[in-house]
């Protein structure tokens, strides 16, 4: 039966090929929606795995998380250094890392922080940051580059760079009088860490010219590294305290602050994006359906032309049931071939666009084996193809019966 179906399909190469292409493209789209969702969620979850709480100025939790960890969007407010010191000195806190954002180098975000960032920041499965070359900054006016940032800026240890105020690609105030020396480059992590430039808080103060006032007042030795910071990453001694501390910091007396738990805030973010995901899924399913209906139309249209072929098969002794099975087999073969071609197309697209996507978004799409959800989707497409094929198969069955009854003279 398979041999017969394949031969019959090869007879009508062009129309079959067009059908396969149409269904394959729609299947690739259907799988892409699922794959993008899966990998984006996995990537976001992997980006910050060792931080229990993030505290920043009052605002939306999602915005604070996106800006502080993913460098997406910007933060308008700041929190004071005094609040950071008070929070960091609490006995429940195991470690606290301040970060200050808002500057850039050729459009790449500058993260001003302390060496605590290198020690305590964890990604993926509690993996620590590692240096590919050089060392972490130890002094003022030194920078460490993420792997992607080093590649884009084409800088290595020993080179220098200038920081621009503002996070856009074009900046009005390049701080040329302060060339910053590159002292280290981090190993690739596959997270937004790769795309940032890391400097000390003092470096940013120097660059912004705040240092001047301090040295004039002669208390240079005692001053703290920054007037204000954008956010603080916190690690707790006892994890279950996170909820209680979050409540405390959200109702902090000295200034309005927002505290969030990265994992929970991410879940809320996916919930809000759920509507878009459902819409995309619905649209992709419709596109697949249109492809399958195209196949149905071609099968029905070809029945008229294939009347002679069917009669020959009947003459050779094929019963109506054989013809019914033949048509179903043909449709399922077409759907199967198209589904596999769609999967192949998805991998081809992913492989060719991987670099572009990583450069633009900082998200690294890995070429994984299809997930259970993707197999389900492919299975459903094949089942839908099978169900639709029953219509032309039934028509052929009826047709062959009536053809068999009419006496040809």
Query: Averaging pLDDT over each range in 218-222, 232-236, 274-278, 398-402, which range is the top one?
Result: 232-236
Q: Is 151 exposed, middle or buried (0-12, 13-18, 19+ CB in 10 A)?
A: middle
More confident residue, 299 or 260: 260
Q: Which of 195, 97, 178, 186 has its CA nearest to residue 141? A: 178
Residue 409's pLDDT is what?
47
Name the pLDDT band for 73 (thresholds 50, 70, 90).
Answer: confident
**Cα dist from 348 to 25, 99, 201, 287, 353, whole Å:** 12, 39, 44, 20, 9
C-alpha span between 295 and 11 (Å, rounded):
16
Q: Which of 166, 128, 131, 165 has its CA nearest to residue 146? A: 131
C-alpha span between 406 and 74 (Å, rounded):
79
Q: Which pTM value belongs to this model? A: 0.75
C-alpha span between 61 and 68 (Å, rounded):
11
DSSP codes of every residue in 13-25: HHHHHHHHHHHHH
Residue 397's pLDDT is what?
84
Name the pLDDT band for 235 (thresholds 50, 70, 90).
Answer: very high
**Mean pLDDT of all residues belonging to the chain:** 86
Contact yes or no for 345/32 (Cβ under 8 A): no
Helices 262-305 and 307-315 sit at what angle, rounded to 10 degrees?
70
Average pLDDT over every residue of 383-401:
88
State yes or no: pLDDT of 117 exceeds 80.
yes
Element containing residue 38 per DSSP (H, E): helix 13-47
Contact yes or no for 257/56 (Cβ under 8 A): yes
Q: Which of 242, 263, 234 has its CA nearest to residue 116? A: 234
Q: Which of 18-27, 244-253, 296-305 has the lowest mean pLDDT?
A: 296-305
State yes or no: pLDDT of 236 exceeds 70.
yes
C-alpha span between 164 and 172 (Å, rounded):
8
State yes or no: pLDDT of 408 exceeds 70.
no
145 Cβ neighbours under 8 A, 6+ residues apart: 153, 155, 182, 184, 185, 186, 197, 198
State yes or no: pLDDT of 165 exceeds 80.
no
State yes or no: pLDDT of 176 exceeds 80.
no
Residue 219's pLDDT is what?
46
Q: Which of 124, 105, 404, 92 has its CA nearest to residue 242? A: 92
Of the chain, the end-to-end C-alpha distance in Å amounts to 31
**Other C-beta atoms lying within 10 Å of the C-beta of residue 157:** 17
Q: Is 139 exposed, middle or buried (0-12, 13-18, 19+ CB in 10 A)?
A: exposed
**Other C-beta atoms lying within 10 Å of the C-beta of residue 394:** 13
DSSP-assigned letter for residue 260: E
Q: Which of 22-31, 208-217, 351-360 has the lowest mean pLDDT?
A: 208-217
Dihedral over Cα of 237, 243, 248, 249: its sign: positive
Residue 109's pLDDT is what?
92
Residue 307's pLDDT is what?
76
**pLDDT above 70 coverage of the chain, percent:** 91
Instruction: Sketch the domain layout of the chain as residue ranges.
Output: 2-44+274-405, 53-260
213 Cβ neighbours under 8 A, 6+ residues apart: none
Name the pLDDT band for 168 (thresholds 50, 70, 90).
Answer: low
pLDDT digits (tens, 9 = 90+) for 54-69: 999 999 999 999 999 9
Average pLDDT over every residue of 395-408:
71
**Cα dist from 144 to 157, 186, 201, 341, whole Å:** 9, 7, 13, 44
Contact yes or no for 43/190 (Cβ under 8 A): yes
Residue 406's pLDDT is what?
56
C-alpha span between 358 and 351 (Å, rounded):
12
Q: Which of 12-16, 147-151, 349-353 has the lowest mean pLDDT?
A: 12-16
Residue 224's pLDDT is what?
67
Three-state secondary-structure class, residue 178:
coil
**How big is the chain by its Cα radius of gyration, in Å?**
31
pLDDT digits (tens, 9 = 90+) for 185-225: 999 988 889 999 999 999 988 888 754 454 454 444 445 67
C-alpha span between 341 and 5 (Å, rounded):
19
Contact yes or no for 198/143 (Cβ under 8 A): yes
Name the pLDDT band for 171 (thresholds 50, 70, 90).
Answer: very low
More confident residue, 307 or 264: 264
Three-state secondary-structure class, residue 87:
helix
């Amino acid at each position: 039966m398979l041999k017969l179906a394949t031969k019959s399909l090869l007879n009508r190469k062009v129309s079959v090929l067009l059908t396969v292409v149409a269904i394959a493209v729609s299947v690739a789209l259907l799988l892409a929606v699922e794959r993008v969702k899966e990998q984006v969620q996995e990537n976001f979850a992997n980006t910050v795995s060792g931080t229990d709480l993030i505290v920043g100025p009052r605002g939306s939790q999602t915005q604070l998380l996106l800006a502080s960890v993913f460098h997406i969007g910007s933060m308008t407010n700041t929190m004071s250094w005094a609040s950071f010191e008070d929070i960091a000195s609490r006995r429940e806190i195991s470690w606290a890392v301040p970060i200050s954002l808002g500057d850039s180098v050729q459009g790449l975000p500058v993260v001003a922080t302390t060496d605590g960032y290198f020690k305590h920041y964890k990604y993926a499965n509690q993996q620590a940051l590692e240096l590919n070359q050089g060392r972490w900054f130890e002094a003022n006016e030194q920078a460490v580059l993420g792997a992607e940032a080093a590649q884009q800026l084409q800088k290595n240890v020993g080179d220098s760079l200038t920081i621009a105020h503002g996070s856009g690609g074009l900046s009005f105030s390049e701080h040329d009088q302060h060339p910053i020396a590159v002292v280290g480059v981090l190993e690739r992590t596959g997270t937004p860490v790769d795309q940032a430039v890391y400097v000390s808080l003092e470096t940013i103060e120097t660059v912004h010219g705040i240092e001047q006032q301090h040295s004039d007042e002669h208390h240079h030795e005692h001053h703290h590294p920054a007037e204000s910071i954008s956010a603080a990453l916190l690690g707790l001694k006892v994890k279950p305290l996170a909820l209680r501390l979050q409540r405390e910091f959200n109702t902090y007396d000295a200034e309005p602050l927002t505290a969030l738990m990265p994992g929970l805030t991410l879940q809320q973010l996916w919930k809000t994006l759920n509507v878009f995901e459902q819409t995309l899924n619905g649209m992709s399913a419709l596109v697949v359906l249109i492809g399958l209906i195209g196949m149905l139309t071609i099968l029905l249209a070809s029945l008229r032309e294939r009347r002679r072929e069917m009669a020959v098969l009947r003459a050779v002794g094929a019963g109506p049931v054989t013809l019914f099975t033949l048509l179903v087999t043909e449709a399922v073969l077409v759907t199967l071939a198209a589904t596999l071609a769609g999967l192949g197309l998805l991998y081809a697209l992913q492989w060719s666009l991987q670099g572009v996507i990583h450069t633009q978004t900082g998200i690294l799409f890995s070429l994984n084996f299809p997930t259970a959800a993707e197999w389900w989707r492919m299975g459903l497409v094949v089942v839908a193809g099978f169900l639709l094929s029953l219509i032309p198969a039934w028509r052929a069955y009826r047709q062959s019966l009536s053809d068999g009854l009419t006496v040809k003279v």
